[in-house]
Structure formats: structure tokens, C-alpha cells
Structure 1
Amino acid sequence: MLTYINSTNTSTLLFLISVLGIFLNQKNILVMLMSLEMMFLAVSFNLIFASIHLDDITGQVFSLLILTVAAAESSIGLAILVIYYRIRSVITVELMSLMKG
């Protein structure tokens, strides 16, 4: 069983890896979106671990809410990327400034 300190270290490490993924992959929007989802997952893990440590269910409820919003955001983002790829045949961040609307 993970202790509270080890679990917060794990979620912090996951969060930092996702921030690093966003900064290192600034050309591929899909990798940036996946890193953003991993960031949401790290925050959710931190809420769950704190909820277990404090013996309170509020953190788990907020974690479920975060995961629900993240899933909706991810599906909308992927739908926009698919439409953009059909129009331009390339998915890069540099060309996203050409979008109009």
C-alpha cells in the first residue's frame, strides 16, 4: 500500500512529466492534448489520495467531476482536430493560427 507521501510524489511526478510533455512537444497538437489530459489525471490522483488520507469522500467526488469534464473536453478537441485534418491534411500548432471563425 502506498503511503500518502509516496502517492503525492507519484501524482506530482506525473504532473511534471505532463508539463514537460507540453513544453517539449509544441509542434504536435495531439501530443499536447494528451499531455493536458495526463495533467488532469495527476490532479485527479492527488485529490483521490488526499481523500483517502483524510477519510473524506469529497475529493473522490471532485475527481469524478474532473474526469467527466476532461472526457468531454477531450472529445470536443479530438473532433476539432479531425475536422482540421480533413481540411488541411496536417496537424501542427504553427498552422493553427490560420484558422478562422
Structure 2
Amino acid sequence: MIPGVSIYEILTITSILFFIGVYGFITRTNLISILISVELILNASVVNFVIINKYLFPEALQGVYFSIFIIAVAAAETALAVSIIINLYRQISSVEVKEIETMKY
């Protein structure tokens, strides 16, 4: 563990990061800021995996393996989402959610 920092403080910070990501995902209208909010949510869960694994089983590395898997999935998700956003911008010249909803009809 980090000297002088308890698990409760770290879990509090990751909970704050998680809920900032959820708030940003719900309230933003720009696709890039929604993507950043999803990344905040995923990063908070990665830190939780590592900290809880280090606290419960300090000699095991399962939390680290799960974290590496989540980071790899998040990188693939980001690459795919950015390519979709670029294609949408080329078609309608906007990355706002309201304009993209009009493409449905």
C-alpha cells in the first residue's frame, strides 16, 4: 500500500472519479466529452480492481490482470469510437448528439 494513505481515501477518490464520469456521460451533448466520461468511469474501475486486490490478496496479481484487460478493451473502444465520430463529422459537420439523432429518419 501507499504509505500514509488508507484504502478508504483511495476508494473515496475513485468513487468521486466514477461519479464525475457518470455525471459527464449523462449531461454532455458533445460526443468527445461523452467518450472522455466513459474513459473516466473505466479508469476508476481499474484503480478499484488494483487497490482491492492489493488490500485483500497482496501476493496475488488477479486485479492487475483484470486491469490490463480493461485497459486493452478501453483502448479498442476508444479507437472505434473516435473513428465513428470522425465519420459522423465528415457526414454532418457536427459532433453534437442532437444533430446525430436527426440522422435516424
Using the size of structure 2 for normalisation, the TM-score is 0.87
**How many residue pairs get matched?**
99
Matches within 5 A, 1:6-17: 6-17=9-20
Larger Cα-atom Rg: 2
Whole-angstrom CA distance in 2 between matches of 1:65 and 1:86 = 32
Aligned with 2:96: secondary structure? coil
What 5-or-longer segments of structure 1 have no aligned partner? none
- Equivalent residue letter for 1:31: S
Give the aligned residue type for 2:44.
A
d(CA) in 2 for partners of 1:99, 1:36 = 23
2:63 and 2:100 map into 1 onto residues whose CA distance is 36
Identity between Structure 1 and Structure 2 (%) = 26
How does 1:60-79 map onto structure 2 within 5 Å? 60-79=64-83
TM-score w.r.t. structure 1 length? Answer: 0.91
Large movers: runs of 4+ above 3 Å: none
